[in-house]
Each structure stands twice: as C-alpha cells, then as structure tokens.
Structure 1
Amino acid sequence: MSREITCEWCGAEATIGSGTVYWELPDGTRAIEITEAPAVVCSDCEMVYQTDEVTKEIEDQLFLVDTKKIGSSIGFKELMEMPRLLKRNYFDFSS
C-alpha cells in the first residue's frame, strides 16, 4: 500500500516506497549500504530520496549502535532493531 505525497524536488505526486542508500558511519571510517530504506519515489523526475525524518532516524541509530557489528550492507529494519549502546542521542540538541 503506497501513500501519495508531493515530491520535494519537482512538486509532482510521489509515493512512499523503499530503496538502497549508502551512508558514512559517524566515525568516518567507512560507508555502508542500507537496503530497503523508506524512501519517497517520484515517477516524474525519477528522484528517490529519504525524508528528513528517515534521515534523522538512520543517523541517530548509527550513532547509538556498535557499528563494528555492521558489515558492508544491512537492511533498514535490521539496523533499526540493533541494540543501542545509549537510550538516545545525547548529542542531538535539536529537540
């Protein structure tokens, strides 16, 4: 089931889907592939991108888990289910 939203790039109607993203780890040592990440998919301009909320969710989780336990590729759901070393990102002062 897909939900219709507006593409932030071209303003056309887009859908929520999933895609593969590549993310640099917080310590800068390497990048990983995250598969099946929630994404906005626009059939007009062909952009596939993550919302600000998903981006923050991924960044917070990568900051809070033991990234040494992540191989070169991980599924989004698997990443989000990894045990956290801290309860929350204490270095995020935006909220």
Structure 2
Amino acid sequence: MKTICEWCSSENVECIASSVFWELPDGTRAIEITETPTYSCPDCSMIYQSEAIVKEIEDQLFLIDCKQIGKVTTFQKLMEIPRLLKRNYFDFSS
C-alpha cells in the first residue's frame, strides 16, 4: 500500500526517524522522543507523525509511570516501559 501525504496528497512520501517533543499528561514537563517513526514529504515540506503513532505515544504516556522517563528517550524505549494499566480506559474513540 502506497503512503500518501496527509497534507498535500502526494505519493512522494518518505518514512524517516525523527525527534518529537511531547508534553507529559500531567503537564509538569516536556520530553524529547528520538527515533520516532515520521513521514517526510519533499513536495510540501511537511514532516509529521501518523495518527496511529500519535495515539500510540499518547496512550503509552497516559498508562506508564512518567517519573521514570528522563528528558530524552527513544521511541522504542518509551514503548517498552511497562504499563500500569492494560489499556486506556478513558479513550472512547474505538
């Protein structure tokens, strides 16, 4: 399946790894998440994460003890942190 840019509908989209900055759910601080799966579109110059990756990050941050995260972590290490709950019971979107 060909990936299409969510901004300009171009088929010239590349999958890259990039850093993103995220505010923790409690609002106390922000962290840098490196090596995050990211799309880059050379046609419109947009660099963005898919909705699925955004949801994955937000759910993980909501379900873990964020005190154990430093100022910088990789996407993979963030996803490997054990969850306190099995799923986000406050997400009614699905």
- In 1, the alpha carbon distance for the partners of 2:23 and 2:29 equals 6
What are the equivalent positions in structure 2 for 1:20-31 lying under 5 Å apart?
20-31=19-30
Deviations 1:22-44 (Å, cap 9, x if unpaired)? 00000111110000111111112
CA RMSD of aligned residues (A): 1.2
- In 2, the alpha carbon distance for the partners of 1:25 and 1:64 equals 11
1:4 and 1:16 in contact (8 A); partners too: no
SS in 1 for 2:88: coil
2:8 paired residue number? 10
Unaligned runs of 5+ in 1: none
What are the equivalent positions in structure 2 for 1:64-79 lying under 5 Å apart?
64-79=63-78
The letter for the 2-side match of 1:45 is: C
C-alpha deviation, 1:4, in angstroms: 4.7
- In 2, the alpha carbon distance for the partners of 1:30 and 1:85 equals 20
> Larger % of strand: which?
1
C-alpha deviation, 1:48, in angstroms: 1.1
- In 1, the alpha carbon distance for the partners of 2:32 and 2:46 equals 18
Count how many residue pairs are aligned between Structure 1 and Structure 2: 93
Unaligned runs of 5+ in 2: none
- In 2, the alpha carbon distance for the partners of 1:4 and 1:72 equals 35
Find runs of 4+ consecutive structure 1 residues off by over 3 angstroms: none
Identity within the alignment, %: 60
1:89 paired residue number? 88
C-alpha deviation, 1:46, in angstroms: 1.9
SS in 2 for 1:5: coil
Q: TM-score, normalised by structure 2?
A: 0.92
